[in-house]
Structure 1
Amino acid sequence: MPFDLPQKVMPVPAASLKFTTNEEIDENYARLTATFKSGETRSLPYRRKQLLQLARMLQDNHTAFEDALLADLNRPRMETTVSEVAHLITSVMYAVENLESWAAPDPCPTKEAWRSSWGATLYKEPKGVVLIISPWNYPLVLTVNPLIGAIAAGCPAVLKPSELVPTFCELIASLIPKYLDPNTYAVIKGGVPETTHALALRWDHIFYTGNSRVGRIVATAAGKNLTPLTLELGGKSAAVVADDCDDLDVVAKRILYGKLQNGGQLCVAPDYALVPKAKVDAFVESLKKAHEEFFPEGDHPLTGPRPISDIVHPTHHAHLVDLLHRTKGKVVFGGQIHKDKSIAPTILTDVPVDDVLMGEEIFGPILPILAVDDIDEAIRVINSKPIPLVIYLFTTQDELKHKFLRETRSGQLVVNDTIMQLCVHELPFGGQGESGYGMWFGKTTFDVFTHRRGCITVPFSDEPFFQGRYRPYTEDKYQAACAPGKVKIPDE
């Protein structure tokens, strides 16, 4: 597919995006609730059909999704294909291939022989009607990936994509009812008022991806109805370069690759780098070398034929520019600003731990480098901040990996690369604390929207074993009840 295909999807100005009314939100909720109560979504053939239709939607509209994200984010087609469309088709087919095994009941072997005939089993049941709220930075993958799990689990779903990507929002709203059952899946278009109205409804699960500020609002709304919630947030994910890393060219290329995806607007992007003092200068030169490879002569990141993605909103762009103006760090590369749209890849050194760049997640193409004396200082810096979504550790020593597993906390630990954990469908993904809670990805997303319902069948023939539990209580019955609690406890 040529990179320079003309856009077939016309850009949608944010002001012209027609929002869903509160009445329409209520109608969607009622319609999907009725569908769930009918039991139709419990059928595995029904789920399989909807999943295959979702794959067809992605495949048929591959270029349309590229067009939409090019219009909204100036996202290169290559990035949209690799990180969103192709990735999602693989994810859908993975769910289709494993649907029966995921949904199959799990027997629970019992320790006591007298319980073996009870058939203790966990049955997989859909939780019910779910709400999926997705952000603007990767709107397709962060809308559809949770939807895959909801469909596989048998849950009707309402999707609320971000209004900050209006072309994408309009596209997904038009495609969902064409490819999927409109009685089971719906899209809400809107901003804060529409989302607030939706959150007031009693959902069976809410899946929110975004920032921690809004995450707190969503959690409060969910708490009012005791609604289970998955929060996929972000945080300051560190890239740590250990002393033993000699091939800094590869290290720098992998870190810069992860940092520049979508203009740095990615929740798992490396937010800052911790580098031994003796290696900082060489690391900077390796970053410059990688940048020259990514943007060869004539392919400028701001004005070239395939520029870096835009910063999604002028307000966020202004925030990033303000950080560059206020930082105490030294810009050693980049720093160019293009109107209110984009910022060139920017590398800074001499950044103190308490710098403005080390406060909240940067969420842009700016990489501060903090020089550290040793790996223990790097760990102290990481531990002085809220728990990040991921830590990227570059080392050839297996012991250092285990040291980080013991002495740091993060949603994930990735050794010797960035963002490639998202390629492993079998590996659950999620944060801790400020970076969110609730694991998902692949089968784990199915588990998110599934209630594991325990069931036993106690034979009437076991009645002779139960006489000791009935009144009248006697000393013999009491002593028999106490016996399990008198087991010998080892000294150590």
Structure 2
Amino acid sequence: MPAAPADLVHNTPEEITEAHRALRESFASGITYDVGFRKHQLKQLSFLLNDNVDAISDAIAKDLGRCKFESVFAEIMLTTNSVLDAHNQCEKWAKDEKIWSGAIWALHHPTVRKDPKGTVLVIGAWNYPISVQIGPMIGALAAGCTVILKPSEVAAHSARLLAELWPKYMDPRMSRVINGAIPETTQLLDLQWEHIMYTGNGTVGRIVAEKAAKYLCPTTLELGGKSPVVVDDDADFNIAAHRILWAKVVNVGQTCIAPDYVLVTKNSQDKLLDAMKKVVKEYFPNGNRESPDFGRVVNDRQFKRLAGILDRTKANVAIGGHFEAPERYMDLTVLQNVQPGDAAMEGEIFGPILPIMSVPNVQGAVDYINANDRPLATYVFGSKNTTNEIIKKTRSGGLVEGDLLLQYVVEDLPFGGSSKSGYGNYHGKAGFDTFTHSRGCVHAPSRGMMGQIAEKALSTRYPPYKDSNLNFMRLLMGKSPNFSRPEKSYSKSSSSSGFGIGKLSALIFLLAAIAFTRPDSLNHFIAQLPKIKS
């Protein structure tokens, strides 16, 4: 059972203001532009995690009643992997990107510079106090931002531990932890940031977005939702049952990408339920309550909400159904013959309750998914044709075929929502990109021989304007279609390609202009050109 809430030390308004000021000043100093400094902080973060596995696991157990295996596997290990990947890749990610945009701009060296956005705010969630709180910070640190982390006060033991550990490992010039509840979060949101990332529910997500709009601050929102599992008649029901129930058992369903409900054909519902009953006995031979591997609901408010679902549901309880308020214990509960308007289908469950709804076929599953808000995740068990149908006809933040939760585990995949399940991505390079401004830069030559060449080549843009100059600029810079004129109505057979001469024309006329104005420099210019890509 989770321990009593910790006495969380709230930061004072003065401390919040000072931390914000100091980090903005630090960013302005340019210290975080040094990739070596960023990598040093990522190294330190990896040791913060590895040195304190027991302390972190103990804090999470007090907050969530979660076993050490889940905390190490699902949080500490995965987050450490993300830190190490960012450390190994951030130098590559941060390099300027040279752009080939045609011969006309060969001397101007078009470049995309990867600049850190500035001072950013990460507001974490209680259900995974490491992975969804420290996780987003990894991309921010790799990108060179200065960061304030506001952990969730609901997981108070974990929040207090992070505040204690942070200054022992991390440089306060780059990142800090601020603790508190609604007043402290409100004060933070009233300050100016260059990016805000929030993980939680849609109600608070709207507040965050509204606050950020004051400064036109970009936001990333990870909001969850009702993530469906589609099981068709061709599925291996034993494998599906093992994987679906495992994903619901982890953190007792208090996971934003947990399976929220199952859509299965009427012909296969009993087969799936039979397999699930066997799996529950296999996972918990002595029952959920007695197992050290089965956690508890985080607090009384969440427990009452979940108990209310079971009290109001009109569905049949196929597995479990027992709950005890004093220790916030609830069985892994599977409901069958659930109807669309049932209490279990009203909102995200975020607990150990799994409704099963029967549909006539895969198209029926597609129709139901599309009639509701876009989920953070979609899961599919069955034939490849079924997966293809779900991918083509539905939308979600992520999708997994034949398993669950793995879209979060694969570090190189962008992780994020769609529509009401959130927007924006993180993990791996996607996290780096979230906290990076890609600044387009052009380095036009303006001195010496190269400056004179560029000046002659583009001097026809100056007043007084002449039609002859405009025609020359069109030839020099304009692009021609590389396709023929299509029919008014589209058909695959009418789509054909033609030969485009835009790039070739630009090159020919640029070389002609240089040869005409500075014949002696033509050979030197050609030597400056990068290899022309087709």
Q: The TM-score by the shorter chain falls in which range?
A: over 0.9
Equivalent residue, structure 1, for 2:308: 322
Tell me which amino acid in the other structure corresponds to 1:33: R
Equivalent residue, structure 2, for 1:279: 268
Tell me which amino acid in the other structure corresponds to 2:78: H
Q: Which runs of 4+ in 1 moved over 6 A?
A: none
Q: How does 1:44-83 map to 2 (within 5 A)?
A: 44-83=35-74
Instruction: Tell me by how many angstroms 1:489 deviates.
Output: 5.5
Q: Is the 8 A contact 1:12 1:167 kept in 2?
A: no
1:94-146 CA-to-partner distances (Å, cap 9, x unmatched) read: 11111211111111111x21212221111111111110000100011111111
Q: Is the 8 A contact 1:177 1:185 kept in 2?
A: no
Equivalent residue, structure 1, for 2:121: 131
Distance 1:353 1:413 in 2: 22
Instruction: Tell me by how many angstroms 1:468 deviates.
Output: 2.2
Equivalent residue, structure 2, for 1:233: 223
Tell me which amino acid in the other structure corresponds to 2:329: S
Distance 1:89 1:319 in 2: 34
**Percentage of matched positions with identical amino acids:** 41
Q: Is the 8 A contact 1:54 1:180 kept in 2?
A: yes
TM-score, length-scaled by structure 2: 0.87
Instruction: Tell me by how many angstroms 1:170 deviates.
Output: 0.5
Equivalent residue, structure 2, for 1:4: none
1:165-190 CA-to-partner distances (Å, cap 9, x unmatched) read: 11101000011111000222111111
Distance 2:160 2:443 in 1: 51
Tell me which amino acid in the other structure corresponds to 1:490: R
Provide the alpha-carbon RMSD of the alignment.
1.7
Equivalent residue, structure 2, for 1:410: 396
Tell me which amino acid in the other structure corresponds to 1:286: A
Q: Is the 8 A contact 1:58 1:85 kept in 2?
A: yes
Distance 1:13 1:323 in 2: 25
Distance 2:312 2:217 in 1: 41
The secondary structure found in structure 2 opposite 1:141 is: coil
Q: Is the 8 A contact 1:410 1:432 kept in 2?
A: yes
The secondary structure found in structure 2 opposite 1:142 is: coil
Instruction: Tell me by how many angstroms 1:323 deviates.
Output: 0.9
Residue correspondences, number? 477
Q: Is the 8 A contact 1:36 1:128 kept in 2?
A: yes
Equivalent residue, structure 1, for 2:96: 105
Tell me which amino acid in the other structure corresponds to 2:75: E
Q: How does 1:196-215 map to 2 (within 5 A)?
A: 196-215=186-205
Distance 2:239 2:263 in 1: 16
1:416-436 CA-to-partner distances (Å, cap 9, x unmatched) read: 001012221111111111100
Distance 2:406 2:232 in 1: 19
Structure 2 runs not aligned, ≥5 long: 446-450, 487-494, 496-534
1:128/1:12 Cα in 2 relative to 1: closer, same or farther (>3 Å)? farther
Instruction: Tell me by how many angstroms 1:28 deviates.
Output: 0.3
Equivalent residue, structure 1, for 2:139: 149
Distance 2:444 2:391 in 1: 44
Q: Is the 8 A contact 2:139 2:434 kept in 1?
A: yes
Structure 1 runs not aligned, ≥5 long: 1-6
1:442-485 CA-to-partner distances (Å, cap 9, x unmatched) read: 11111111111111111222111222211112233344556748
Distance 2:414 2:391 in 1: 17
Q: How does 1:26-425 map to 2 (within 5 A)?
A: 26-110=17-101, 112-245=102-235, 247-297=236-286, 300-302=287-289, 304-340=290-326, 341-395=328-382, 397-425=383-411
Q: Is the 8 A contact 2:75 2:128 kept in 1?
A: yes
Instruction: Tell me by how many angstroms 1:307 deviates.
Output: 5.0
Instruction: Tell me by how many angstroms 1:227 deviates.
Output: 0.6
Distance 1:130 1:150 in 2: 8
TM-score, length-scaled by structure 1: 0.94
Q: Is the 8 A contact 1:336 1:343 kept in 2?
A: yes
Equivalent residue, structure 1, for 2:415: 429
Distance 2:132 2:467 in 1: 62
Distance 1:20 1:431 in 2: 31
Q: Is the 8 A contact 1:12 1:166 kept in 2?
A: no
Larger radius of gyration: 2
Q: Is the 8 A contact 1:205 1:229 kept in 2?
A: yes
Tell me which amino acid in the other structure corresponds to 1:315: R
Among residues 403, 420, 426, which one is paired with 1:440 in the alignment? 426
Equivalent residue, structure 2, for 1:473: 465
1:297-344 CA-to-partner distances (Å, cap 9, x unmatched) read: 3xx312x15052211121111111111111111111101112151211
